[in-house]
Chains A and B, each alone.
Chain A
Amino acid sequence: MATRPTIANWLPNCSDCKRTVELVVDRSYIGLCSRTFTMPIEWGKVREFARAIKDPNPAYMDPEFARRVHGGIPIPPTFLMTSMAWEIPEWESGRVIQLDYGNGVHGEQEFELLRPIFVGDVLSWTQRIADIYEKAGARGGLMKFAVIEGNYFNQRGEHVAISRSVMIEFPPKASAA
């Protein structure tokens, strides 16, 4: 397909499309990339997140301590999950690749943290469909996998993080009936 639609112009039709439960992966979606999203790293959000994951580390709670010991207020290792909030509703990876989250799970998640990220930074990133494949499920049928890769840059243009999410869709329940 010569003119693969970009996510931005592909999405408008997406909410209307009625997905059929047909597990055929379309590998031509691999490489599809989102527009660039932006998010400031805010102390309030970092502190709220640290509290939610029950981490009382003063690095997130006490700015004086954080500056003295860490050179700034760092982020918890999984804090970049909050960046998803800035992608909705423009882009939802599940819709774009037609993955049925209602019959699926978040299978794996990785954060590669390449450079320090501190409160005060402003991150920009894109999400990209890095891979789509299918595998035989343990109870028969085909499971569908999608690997979504996010590449994050700070306000100086430095590549600071990579996220990789593996989303899994189970074989359709209809096949068991």
Chain B
Amino acid sequence: MAAAVGYDDVKVGDELPRLVIGPLTRQDIVQYAGAAWDFSPLHYDQPFVEAAGLPNVVVMGMFTAGMASRCITDFAGAGQVRDYKVRFVARLYPGDTITCTGRVTRKFQAGGERLVEGELLVTNQKGEVAISGSFRAALG
């Protein structure tokens, strides 16, 4: 999984390895809460979320963004990401399965590094977009 792809082997338009994760469980959410220290009751407290008018506890956007970041690190290698930006479009709940896809939109060299930029999309099992994102990564 280290530096899976070289700069010369990548073309603009290339797809990142597609990643499917799920169905997500409450345990997954709680595990991320502990790992990231994200203890908003929105993510574990059923009476709290029902009082707020939500059907279920909510998957943290940053949990989803974290899972999706593996698309980039599987492609470019761990420690190779230079920029990662996500916009949270829709909520995800326990039971949802996410699909992460991405594609290279630019290749260039800067600061002594060979870089690619691209876009990233996370959808749920109904094809609804949960996250749209972008990245920049250095390739070997």
- Using CB atoms and an 8 Å cutoff, list the residues of chain A in contact with chain B: 45, 48-49, 51-55, 57-60, 65-66, 69-70, 74-78, 81-82, 84-85, 88, 101-102, 105-114, 116
Contacts and interface: CB of A to CB of B under 8 A. Distances in A.
Nearest to A48: B35
B81 A113 contact: yes
Contact of B73 (A66, A76, A109, A114): A76
Contacts of A105: 61, 88
Contact of A112 (B28, B62, B83): B83
B63 A59 contact: no
Contacts of A81: 36, 38, 62, 66
Contacts of B85: 108-111
A55 B2 CA distance: 13
B40 A55 contact: no
B87 A108 contact: yes
5 contacts: A54-B67, A70-B79, A77-B69, A84-B37, A85-B36
Interface string B43-64: 0000000001000000001110
Interface of B: 1-3, 21, 28, 31-32, 34-38, 40, 52, 61-63, 65-67, 69-70, 72-74, 77-79, 81-88
Closest 9 A/B residue pairs (Cβ): A74-B79, A85-B37, A59-B78, A53-B66, A52-B35, A110-B85, A77-B69, A77-B81, A52-B32
Given A78-B69, A82-B35, A109 B62 contact: yes
Contact of A106 (B28, B74, B88): B88
Given A70-B78, A77-B72, A78-B69, A109 B32 contact: no
